Chains A and B, each alone.
Chain A
Amino acid sequence: MSQHQEKARIIRFEQLSEDNFRLTLQSPQIAAQAFPGQFVMILTGKGNDPLLRRPFSLHQASTNGSIQVYFKNVGRGTDILAHAKEGEILDVFGPLGRGYRLVDEKPACLLGGGLGIAPLLFLAKALAKRNRDATSDLILLGGRSKPEVEPLVDDFKQFGMKIICATDDGTYGEEGFVTESLDSERVAPGTHVYACGPEAMLETVHDICLQRGFGCQVSVESVMACGMGACLGCNIPASDGTYAHVCIDGPVFDSGALVWKS
């Protein structure tokens, strides 16, 4: 696996809702190496403040040499990116980490909550290339409110998989948590679940999968300084009693490999 530090031009800037943005970057070396679930580290500032790069999961990587990141404006780093302009150059480092392992022989359920929807588009594209009927595959997209879900739904329609959306406030799709659909007969027996989202949601996903005998991979997030196993700042308790590091052992883990709070 090789990594690249690339000067990537912003070729498309999209504001998808008040706080959510999507950047398309010309980054051919990273795009050519990337797998779904991997991430990149982007230098957001020009000077020393903010100092560190920010990790972003790959929302898409395309054979035409472009990558996409989808993010919410939550702090100093993302605020700079939220005010970026098309044509600007960003210093991008990646692809990093271990992505999703594609389980070809099983029906797939892709489950994303909030920003956790980000890596699922790239994943759906890879899973769509499997030589199997997609009618028992399922995409579950959730968020607190309509702006977190609705702008992304169209992009998921091209794969022929059934899509179910849910919002906490009922402003889009079904009212409630997206995990409720996972715990229903809508999900075929023997499904393999690929999830990304807030920790509490992933814990629920893990519990449901355990009960229903589904294989389950989760993508987790962490603060990190380097993204490549040098700073050791992104540790997470593993079920074997050691620490795993999100940047090199993850960000995607079998859910059983991690320690869940309750």
Chain B
Amino acid sequence: MEILKAHDPYPDLRVNIGSLQLQNPVMTASGTFGYAREFENLVNLHRLGGVIVKGISLLPRAGNPPPRIVETSSGMLNAIGLQNVGVTRFIKEKIPYLRGLNVPVVVNILGDTIEEYQEITKQLSDVEGIAALEVNISCPNVKKGGVAFGTVPHMAAAVTEAVKSVSSLPVMVKLSPNVSDIVEMALSVERAGADSLSLINTLIGMAIDVKTKKPKLANVIGGLSGPAIKPVALRMVYQVAQRVSIPVIGIGGIDNMEDALEFLIAGASAIQVGTANFINPRISEDIVDGIGEYVKDQQLGSVRELIGTLEVD
């Protein structure tokens, strides 16, 4: 008679992002997964590690004029302009559905001023069904001449402190890669009280139509995402994870299981799948399965044993 193996056939994929517990490390990145409902026919949403919904501002935003997106080599540029329904409609129309999901829902928030970030946070803090906030600091600070919060360490820290001071929700700060020293930015935000860091947001880029000599995006410049940015993202995650003591979530060009594993090995506790959701709506679920197979094949006790295991000679 064959001896039954004692271990659980389901690999242990649970990870912790501070106080936030995920059933697996695969989340969907803000702005690439709508408000989750758009994907309900295509993905088993309940199998995801977490869902990060489209960025929410205090008031609704119409976004930029078209064209808003353009494909580039192994990537895409977007200048959507933060189109969203605003926090009031978000709570009324989107939260009831999201509350029914069996996975943590992280709400991405954005603002033009520190006061706006604070006000959105207050409105979301008492809403049932929100597991954490992700703070998008890549927006221009209108009171400081439009310089992005995420490019000046003390401004990024000020947003973080302001959000933390009015909410007990875990706060994940999403870092912009468009800085000269990502570690300095990460340390500044950590000192300001962030519970975790997610990186990277898009790299600013542009594309030109040589026939018309016009930019391919109406906004002229936009954010580059997709496989083209993965090496940059991986490098930044690696550098930041070495220096901070809070969990790091890796984002940037992940479109298969191996990409996800690279980020975990580099030191990320979890990852977010972004642009790949547009191409294969069930990619996140496939990545969950792939990581599970890997953990089994490598006979790891859990996926947590993999985090930060990069071997540099």
A, B: real partners: yes
Interface size on B, residues (CB 8 A): 34
A-B CB contact pairs (8 Å), 28 listed: A2-B41, A3-B41, A43-B280, A51-B75, A51-B76, A51-B226, A51-B275, A52-B279, A91-B280, A222-B66, A225-B76, A228-B281, A230-B33, A231-B31, A231-B78, A231-B278, A232-B68, A232-B80, A233-B69, A233-B78, A233-B80, A234-B66, A234-B68, A235-B63, A235-B65, A235-B68, A237-B65, A243-B83
Residues of B within 8 A of A (CB): 31-34, 38-39, 41-42, 62-63, 65-71, 73-76, 78, 80, 83, 226-227, 255, 275, 277-282
Contact partner of B74 among A48, A93, A222, A225, CB < 8 A?
Answer: A48
CB distance from A62 to the nearest CB of B (A): 23
Determine chain A's interface SS by DSSP, over half rule: loop
Kindly state the interface size class of chain A when it binds its partner. Answer: 20 to 34
Q: Considering only CB atoms, which chain A residue lies closest to B226 in the complex? A: A51
Determine chain B's interface SS by DSSP, over half rule: loop
Residues of A within 8 A of B (CB): 2-3, 5, 43, 48-53, 91, 93, 222-226, 228-237, 242-243
B38 with A229: CB separation less than 8 A: yes
Bound: A196/B166 CA distance, A: 53
Contact partner of A48 among B33, B66, B67, B255, CB < 8 A?
Answer: B255
Q: Which residues of A contact B83 (CB under 8 A)?
A: 232, 235, 243
Bound: A5/B70 CA distance, A: 23
Contact partner of A223 among B32, B67, B281, CB < 8 A?
Answer: B67
CB distance from A5 to the nearest CB of B (A): 6
A224 with B69: CB separation less than 8 A: yes
Known: A223-B67, A234-B66. 9 other contacts (CB 8 A): A5-B42, A43-B279, A51-B74, A51-B279, A53-B279, A91-B280, A231-B32, A231-B80, A243-B62
Bound: A242/B60 CA distance, A: 11
A49 with B74: CB separation less than 8 A: yes
